[in-house]
């Protein structure tokens, strides 16, 4: 687990305990409260929930891992974050581990390939500028089926 994630959780907890939450952090606290409630319903020790949420068991889940990689790339690159980028990251983090082919926009295709997400999950990623490659791969499949 990265130190940045751990630092973020620690900062959140310090702000929550010190009652220094702004509106955005307040919304985040509602989510944390819900997780704590579910954790307690399952008989878990609330002090151990944050340890679990930061564990490799959770952070290596495909949905969480891919989304975190794409979000980190968005906020650290020189590209302007577009209105659909957050939704794309959410959808693609679900789809990529499950599918063989993805068609997305050129910027997201580039980000996925730079991060090696396509290689990690053995998923071929295309955009409209590389769609001929997708058609070639699909034709290859048709040839195998015959």
pTM, rounded to two decimals: 0.69
Question: Exposure of 125 by Cβ count < 10 A (0-12 exposed, 13-18 middle, 19+ buried)?
Answer: buried
Contact in structure between 73 and 36 (CB atoms under 8 Å) = no
Which residues, at least 6 apart from 20, have a Cβ–Cβ distance to it below 8 Å? 14
Q: Which residues is 125 bridged to in the sheet?
A: 102
When pLDDT is cut at 50, 70 and 90, the band that residue 146 belongs to is low
Q: Which sequence spans correspond to the domains of the chain?
A: 3-59, 83-145
DSSP secondary structure code for residue 126 in this structure? E
In tens, the pLDDT along 3-51 reads: 555 565 666 666 666 666 555 555 555 677 777 888 889 998 877 888 8
What count of other Cβ atoms lies within 10 Å of the Cβ of residue 85?
19
| Residues 79-109: tens digit of each pLDDT | 888 888 888 999 999 999 999 999 999 999 9
pLDDT at 127: 97
């Amino acid at each position: 687990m990265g130190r940045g994630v751990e630092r973020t959780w620690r900062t959140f907890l310090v702000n929550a305990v010190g009652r220094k939450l702004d509106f955005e952090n307040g919304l985040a606290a509602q989510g944390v409260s819900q997780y704590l409630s579910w954790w307690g319903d399952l008989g878990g020790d609330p002090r151990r929930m944050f340890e679990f949420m930061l564990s490799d068991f959770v952070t290596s889940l495909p949905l969480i891992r891919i989304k975190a990689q794409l979000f980190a790339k968005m906020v650290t690159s020189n590209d302007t974050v577009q209105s659909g980028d957050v939704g794309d990251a959410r959808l693609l983090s679900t789809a990529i581990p499950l599918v063989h082919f993805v068609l997305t926009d050129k910027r997201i295709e580039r980000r996925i390939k730079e991060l090696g997400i396509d290689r990690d999950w053995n998923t071929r990623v295309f955009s409209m500028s590389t769609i001929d490659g997708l058609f070639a791969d699909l034709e290859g499949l048709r040839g195998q089926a015959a």
